[in-house]
Structure 1
Amino acid sequence: MTNPVVAVLGTGVMGAGMVRSLRRADVPVRMWNRDGDKARALTPTGAEAFDSPAEAVAGADVVLTTGGTGLTPTDVTPEATRAVLQREAPGIAEAIRRYGQEQVPTSVLSRGLAGTCSRTLIVNLPGSTGGVRDGLTVLGPLLPHVVSQLRGGDHGPGAPAPGP
């Protein structure tokens, strides 16, 4: 399977690091930032910059956000994400928090969500370098299987047959 196309919404300090990590792994990246210059500055990595979030996510298999998942009054990324999710995938967000907790106990304060909208996986990552790194570590091995399922594939070899 080819690498999934990933859209990164927000290319500030954390998002820029995420874009660089994904591109080093040869993952196709589409990106957007409110300050378009920040996104355009990353185009030498091979990532594509877009003028709107809608353009950036068009055709993406995975959408990643970073930041806004904590407990402050301005942390509203999960609420905005929930408004567009059709199905939540709580196990993914829980796995990211669980992995992060082994590194930094306060990672459990993240309220990040994961789920799908149509055939796209959306994941909120924390707004810290370690949180983004932990999130990508957890997501890396999951993405091929997730994207295969979203594209209409089955559960893979050894999956139980559907029951009566």
Structure 2
Amino acid sequence: MSPTRTAAVLTVSDGVAAGTREDRSGDTVVELLEHAGFEVVARRTVADQRASIVRDLTELADLACLVVTTGGTGLGPRDVTPEATGDVVDREVPGLAEAMRAAGRVSTPLADLSRGRAGTIGTTLVVNLPGSVRGARESLTAVLGTVPHALQLLAGETAHRAETTT
């Protein structure tokens, strides 16, 4: 398995963390990633608490080149995944978040209410997906074709290397 094909999945949900809800969106994300050739090396669940999300994002970024979150991207009072992501990313990748919302908009105008972000922590790409199964599936599918190239660029594998002159 290429080191640029490792992924971690973080489900952000009070209900799933408490054991009162099934992690269907996390299952969907793992299935899509594995089908796309990623090795899912870690999977966690965390409650909707900003500090806990920050901790897990930081730890997972050390384990995988792609960290995908699901949940906590809406307008609810406890939806803080985008804020936690903003606390830890070095650089934003707004085009991925825009692509996810655009893809979701085909099915429902409610996709515009998703505040999911994408960015980098060092050489790791972080992508926030909605918590619904449909939203997670549509959003991840929208960017999955672009993600491998992004990971190659983050790993320094690019044909666009600057030439030095002497």
Fold conserved between structures, TM > 0.5: yes
* Secondary structure of 2:69 counterpart: strand
The residue aligned with 1:77 is 81
What does residue range 108-147 of structure 1 map to in structure 2 within 5 Å?
108-147=112-151
Q: State how far apart, in whole Å, the 2-side matches of 1:34 and 1:128 are.
A: 15
Give the equivalent residue in structure 2 for 1:47: none
> Percent identity of the aligned residues?
44
Greater shift in the superposed pair: 142-151 or 20-29: 20-29
Q: Deviations over 1:80-130 (max 9, x none)?
A: 110001100111101100111011110110000001010000010001111
Matches within 5 A, 1:80-95: 80-95=84-99
CA 1:89 to 1:55, structure 2 compared with 1: closer, same or farther past 3 Å? closer
Corresponding residue for residue 44 of structure 2? 33
Q: Give the aligned CA root-mean-square deviation in angstroms.
A: 2.4
Aligned to 2:34: 23
Match of residue 97, structure 1, among 91, 98, 101: 101
Normalising by the residue count of structure 2, what TM-score does the alignment of the two structures yield? 0.76
| 8 Å Cα contact 2:41/2:63 also seen in 1 | no
Q: How many residues are treated as equivalent by the alignment?
A: 143
Moved more, 107-116 or 19-28: 19-28
Consecutive unaligned residues in structure 2, runs of 5 or more: 17-22, 47-54
Q: Is the 8 A contact 1:5 1:61 kept in 2?
A: yes
TM-score, scaled to structure 1:
0.77
- Distance across 2 between alignment mates of 1:56 and 1:115: 14
Which structure has more RCO (C-alpha within 8 Å, separation ≥ 6)? Answer: 2
